[in-house]
Amino acid sequence: MRYPRDLHGYGQTPPAAQWPDGARIAVQFVLNYEEGGENSVLHGDAASEAFLSEIVGAAQWPGQRHWNMESIYEYGARAGFWRLHRLLTGKAVPVTVYGVATALKRSPAQVAAMLDAGWEIASHGLKWVEHKDMGLEEERAAIAEAVRLHTLVTGEPPRGWYTGRCSANTIDLITEVGGFDYVSDAYADDLPYWHEQGGRRQLVVPYTLDANDMRFATAQGFNSGHQFFSYLKDSFDVLYAEGLAGSPKMMSIGLHCRLAGRPGRAMALARFIDYVQSHEKVWIARRIDIAEHWAKTHPPQTLADPPSRLSESAFVERFGGVFEHSDWIARRAWADELSRANDTAIGLAAALTFQFRAASEAERLGVLVAHPDLAGKLAQAKRLTASSTEEQASVGLDALTDEERVRFTELNTQYVEKFGFPFIIAVRDNTKASILAAFETRIGNDRDTEFATACRQVERIAFLRLASMLPG
């Protein structure tokens, strides 16, 4: 099984964002424009809207208009948009609009105001409806029609995409369609990243559902402007501190005309903007600006032949010797679940070690027995594997004095007679002196203790070998 999700991402060491002018954080405000694109029988939908409104416990009304729901959405277009437009332009805040194509078509004055302000208008899909049950062809057609309509309404095709109520296929379809600078149907990181599908690479600029006014319309959410401001401030403070410490990130803030456009919430947003602008080294940008910067500064890097994508024969050829003369471990790992998380030294070591630990005691003993004696006959006869030769040479075991060679020979003989397998230690973690000291100590262990110790050392050797072959 090849697990499709990426649970590794950038790992412990995310890339340096290198935001313009040495900014410690990139802050991005999104205004979702959905009013006039929501579910409605007027729009040919089967039922009324039930998502993100002031109506507690709202449910769709099949075959009927929901007058209260419609009027709440209308508030966003008629009043909320203009309040936010005055606020954001008055404070010179760059904005990205997620515009539902049918909603934009029904709001020409608002679109003109967006364009006059220099706001980016990204596509928010054709209609503000669920896509989870759409078939591939239906969603593909909806994307194409959204782009067509968006282009006719705004004068330009969208460079960014965010469906929102997406399907599991959305990002792959956007990648397949091509022509988009970024897609934002993901919440997986604090930095942009590249998604691969069908040989194409698509930049993902992640969005947010937590620093988002939608939480005014959810059961677990904000119930006052103070809570909204406090949460945004705390989020900004953590990310700003990380940037100050040398690891700049991105913060997205999601807004909706019918939600943040209400007076009590708009005031909280104004306070937050003032707070952000009171700090130095802050880059407030549109999403397209972030996407352009990332594509230029961090173009896609493809790992040559990542382990999780190798054929069985290629995988075994490359990694079959990581556990000494025991390629069955690699075969079992390949046949088990692998993912992008296993394409690093840590990840692949975990997959191989899992199979070693899951093996029978007899099989693990076979791995131990496959290891050569340290500075033993195989080394003298130059019959070690390339890995073992390099490892033993790295601490001088290939250049022992006569006295040292005699002592190693004595210890090897006593150890094998007592335990039935050779003494094993990760030599790269040691020196010749510390190896000899460990040898002297461990020979006094009982067999169960030493068997467990030797197995841990085998695992450590495997990791160190992989660390020289793969990124961390």
- Show which residues are catalytic: 371
Token couple for 325:
């003369």
Beta 193-197 vs 200-204: how paired, if at all?
antiparallel
Helical segments of 308-398, H only: 312-319, 327-335, 345-358, 361-370, 377-380, 386-394
- C-alpha–C-alpha distance, residues 449 and 456, integer Å: 11
Q: Which of 266, 260, 367 is nearest to 321 (CA)?
A: 367
- C-alpha–C-alpha distance, residues 100 and 142, integer Å: 12
For residues 63-94, b (16+ Cβ closer than 10 Å) or e, as one string? eeebeebbebbebbbbebbebbbebbeeeebb
Q: Which of 284, 293, 277, 225 is nearest to 252 (CA)?
A: 284
The burial class, CB within 10 Å (0-12 / 13-18 / 19+), for 15 is middle
The continuous run of DSSP H or E covering 237 comes out as helix 225-244
Neighbours of 404 (CB within 10 A): 15
Strand ranges in 34-139 using DSSP code E only, listed in sequence order: 95-99, 120-123
